Amino acid sequence: MLVASKKYSVAEYLEIERRTGEKHEFYNGKLTPMAGGTISHNRIARNILIELGKALASKPELEIFGSDQKVYLPKFNFYLYPDALVIAGRPVQVEEQADAITNPLLIVEVLSKSTKQYDGGLKFIEYKSLPSFREYILLRQDVAEASTMYREEPDVWYSYEVEGLDKELWLRTIDERLPLSAIYNKVEF
């Protein structure tokens, strides 16, 4: 059982996850249990993994991970679980027992009412602390809409939005276009 006021060590956090089988995000000692997603959230997360898999089938230097892959942010001492991510090359792990990587190239988050503000604001700033990080995709659940932030130069980021099932999402870092109709397949608005 988690104690809200307690500050956990990384070792305690990892032991809790191993013992309980439950996922928690770790914020420099504070644990936040990961809530289950809605049907729409799960469909979008599944679809983005499928579409990324198809798009990257001919690019063996890139690898896709789903929502069970932890990402570690050393600057903040945070362990987070994005909905999907792509890395270039081999995973760089902070420590083997944590099973967390530090080299995402592209990160995808499916927005929910409870995470929308954090995912679209402060979490993006936190992810930017990773030198390998180049592109951030936010997918809404209530409408076929994607927001993208991508790094053009070391400290220069651009953003754009695309909306509508007839549109495509251009992932600049991997030079692939994904149809929103596929990303939102079977999602009911």
d(CA 26, CA 77) in angstroms, rounded, equals 8
pLDDT (tens place) for every residue of the chain, 189 residues total = 677 779 999 999 999 998 988 999 999 999 998 877 899 999 999 999 999 999 999 999 999 999 999 999 999 999 999 999 999 999 999 876 778 999 999 999 999 888 888 888 899 999 999 999 999 999 999 999 999 999 998 889 999 999 999 999 999 999 999 999 999 999 999
Question: Which residues contact residue 20 at a Cβ distance below 8 angstroms, ignoring those fewer than 6 apart?
Answer: none
Architecture of the domain whose range is 39-69+80-183:
Alpha-Beta Complex (3.90)
d(CA 103, CA 126) in angstroms, rounded, equals 14
Q: Where are the domains of the chain?
A: 1-34, 39-69+80-183
